[in-house]
Amino acid sequence: MVFGTSELSRLKIEKSLALAAVLFPHEEWTKKEANIWVAKSRLIEEHREPNKWAKEISQARILTDRGSVAFFLPEKNTEGQAGLRCADTVIDGEIVELKTVTGTRATLSKDFKKGYKQGASLAIRLAETQSHSVFIRLFSRLSVESVKAKIAGELKTRHDDGSLVCFFGASAKLHRWTYGELRAMIGRK
C-alpha cells in the first residue's frame, strides 16, 4: 500500500506497477522522484547518457506534474527479443513511448512510427490488451490540426488501441486523441 497519496494516485501507481511487473517480472523498481519510478537496470543510463536521461525525465514530468504516474522500463527488451528497443514507460497503467520532435511533418511521421513500433513490441506480450500509446513533445510550429491529420494517416492501416498524447511546446498545451478518434478522421475504425 502507498501512503501519503490520493486514492486516484494510489490506483495509478498500483496499475502501473502491475503492468510493469508483468512486462518485466525480474526487474526491481526504484522511486526517483514524485510519481516517477525507474527500473533498477535502467538507472545506469542516468550516468552513461545524462543528456538523454534528462530529456526523458523532463518529458515524463510534463505528465507527472499533471497527476500521472510513470514507471521507466528497462532500456532494452531483454525479456523478449534480445536487443530490441522497447517503449520507455508505463504511464497510468499504459505502455507509452516518449518522443521529442523538432522539425517538419515528415519528422513527426518518422518519430511517431518508431514510437508506435516500440510500444507494439511490448503490447504484443499482453493477452488481454494490445494497447500502447505515444507521447510526443513537439518543438515546432505545427498546428494541432496538422498533427492530427498526419498521425491519422499513419494509423490508417493499424488497428491497435491507444492514444497520441502531444505536448505542443510553443503553446504549452497538452492534447490527447485515441487512435480510434484519429482513424475516424479519415473514415477508418
CATH number of the domain at 31, please: 3.40.1350.120
Q: How far apart are CA 39 and CA 9, in angstroms?
A: 19
Task: With respect to residue 1, please indicate whether it lies within any of the assigned structural domains.
Answer: no
Task: With respect to residue 155, please indicate whether it lies within any of the assigned structural domains.
Answer: yes
Span of 2-6, 29-33, 133-137 with lowest mean pLDDT: 2-6
Average pLDDT, the chain: 89
Number of domains forming the structure of the chain: 1
> What is the percent of the chain with per-residue pLDDT over 70, rounded to a whole number?
89
| Residue 74 grid cell | 528497462
Task: With respect to residue 91, please indicate whether it lies within any of the assigned structural domains.
Answer: yes
Query: Environment class of residue 143 by beta-carbon count within 10 Å: exposed (0-12), middle (13-18) or buried (19+)?
Result: exposed
Which pLDDT belongs to residue 5? 60
Task: With respect to residue 159, please indicate whether it lies within any of the assigned structural domains.
Answer: yes
What's the Cα-to-Cα distance from 79 to each of 24, 131, 148, 162, 174, rounded to whole Å? 7, 19, 34, 22, 33
Task: With respect to residue 78, please indicate whether it lies within any of the assigned structural domains.
Answer: yes
Choose between 3 and 50: higher pLDDT: 50
Task: With respect to residue 130, please indicate whether it lies within any of the assigned structural domains.
Answer: yes
pLDDT band at 13 (very low <50, low <70, confident <90, very high): very high
- 129: pLDDT strictly greater than 60: yes
pTM beyond cutoff 0.85: yes
Span of 44-53, 98-107, 117-126, 165-174 with lowest mean pLDDT: 44-53
| Residue 112 grid cell | 511517431
Q: For the residues 109-134, what does the mean pLDDT come to?
A: 88
Choose between 105 and 77: higher pLDDT: 105
Task: With respect to residue 189, please indicate whether it lies within any of the assigned structural domains.
Answer: no
Range of the domain at 123: 7-184
The SS3 of residue 126 is: coil
Task: With respect to residue 2, please indicate whether it lies within any of the assigned structural domains.
Answer: no
Burial 65-76 (b: 16+ CB within 10 A, else e): eeebbbbbbbbe
- 31: pLDDT strictly greater than 60: yes
- Per-residue model confidence as pLDDT tens digits over 35-90: 999 999 888 877 788 888 899 999 999 999 999 999 999 986 554 444 456 899 99
Which pLDDT belongs to residue 12? 94
